[in-house]
Amino acid sequence: MFKNKGSAMKSVSNLMSNLQVQAKDLQTKASAKYTGYVQPSHVTHDMLCVNGAPLSPEALDILKGQKNGLRVLRLLEGAYWYDPRSGWFGREGHGPRTVLDAGLALGEGKLQEQCSDGQSEFLLNGRRVGRKEAKTLKLLGMPLTDLGGSLWMDRNGSFGAVGDDKVVGNFWKLAKRNAAVALLVAALFVITVDQLSGLADSSGDAGGGSSGGAADTGSSSGGGTSSSTYTSGAACVTSFENANYAAGGSGNLGLYN
């Protein structure tokens, strides 16, 4: 009896050992597949491109110097879009992932209308937003339809209708109205609730002026959008391929595209 029990225990032990080996092998393969999760110190400028243009070493230093820059650099390497007027930043083909300072010189590329693969009828600083993003913005209280479907937003989060400098509202103040909404938006932009509150408190009532009206043109450092035929920025990443990026892995929390 004890001999049979010992044999059974030995068989179970061998089975567990085999399962542990298989699990470790799967983890190794998964790590090899998702090579994009790298330490910020290991990121080089040729791993990233922004608004369809390669990131220069100087631009990478600027990105690393941002409060949320290290969080951005922990995302998958690849192609990103950056709205220099609002500071919103996301992975190409997806909605916003975080917020940076506005007006950063992150390359010569222009924000393109289809950079986040938006399918709604609404434009924000010339970027076509996704249906889920549009729904989220409406839930926050942004009157997208009433403003004609094309809005500008400045570095403070103030927004209005394109062609009119009048400030209609403020995104960060709308987000701060209640704790649940603040938590949702903070999670969406990968910032703390305290950071969100700081953005809302520092927004003031200023806005419009050169930030509003018709979209201007220029590079990432000067704002503007490009409505020409959309060209993906993925091809400008030359250092290595990323399986998850090529497969269209998620670049945000699923609320915005």
Q: Is residue 254 part of a domain?
A: no
Q: Are 117 and 90 in contact (CB under 8 A)?
A: no
Does 118 lie in the same domain as 219? Answer: yes
Does 70 lie in the same domain as 2? Answer: no
Q: Is residue 257 part of a domain?
A: no
User: What stretch of H or E contains 80?
Assistant: strand 78-82
The whole-angstrom separation of Cα 54 and Cα 47 is 9
Q: Is 68 strand, coil or helix?
A: coil
Does 152 lie in the same domain as 26? Answer: no
Does 19 lie in the same domain as 100? Answer: no
User: What amino acid is encoded at 26 in this protein?
Assistant: L
Instruction: Name 79's bridge partners.
Output: 49
Does 49 lie in the same domain as 22? Answer: no
Q: Is residue 180 part of a domain?
A: yes
Q: Is residue 50 part of a domain?
A: yes
pLDDT range class, residue 207, cuts 50, 70, 90: very low
Q: Is residue 256 part of a domain?
A: no
pLDDT given for residue 139 in this prediction = 86
Q: Per the structure, how many domains does the chain have?
A: 2
Q: Is residue 253 part of a domain?
A: no
Q: 3-class secondary structure for 110-122?
A: CEECCCCCCCCCC
Does 23 lie in the same domain as 129? Answer: no
Q: pLDDT per residue over 103-126, tens digit each?
A: 999 888 899 999 998 999 999 999
DSSP string, 167-236: --EEHHHHHTSSHHHHHHHHHHTT--HHHHHHHHHHH-S---GGGSSS-----TTT--EE-SS---SGGG
Q: pLDDT per residue over 131-186, tens digit each?
A: 989 988 998 899 999 999 999 999 999 999 999 999 999 999 999 887 888 888 88
Does 188 lie in the same domain as 110? Answer: yes
Contacts of 51 (CB under 8 A, 6+ apart): 80, 81, 82, 106, 107, 109, 110, 111, 112, 115, 220, 233
Q: Is residue 191 part of a domain?
A: yes
**Nearest Cα to 59, choosing from 109, 105, 110?**
105
Q: Find the domain containing 143 and state its range.
A: 40-246
More confident residue, 251 or 8: 8
More confident residue, 197 or 234: 197
Does 116 lie in the same domain as 196? Answer: yes
**Nearest Cα to 242, choosing from 92, 24, 96?**
92
| Residue 31 pLDDT > 70 | no
If you ran DSSP here, which 8-state letter would residue 160 be given?
A: E
Does 167 lie in the same domain as 148? Answer: yes
Does 170 lie in the same domain as 61? Answer: yes
Does 150 lie in the same domain as 179? Answer: yes
More confident residue, 168 or 68: 168
Mean pLDDT, residues 192-220 taken together:
61
Q: Are 234 and 36 in contact (CB under 8 A)?
A: no
pLDDT range class, residue 204, cuts 50, 70, 90: low
Contacts of 197 (CB under 8 A, 6+ apart): 176, 182
**Nearest Cα to 182, choosing from 216, 230, 140?**
140
Does 68 lie in the same domain as 1? Answer: no
Q: Is residue 255 part of a domain?
A: no
Torsion of Cα atoms, 124 then 204 then 98 then 54, to 10°: 70
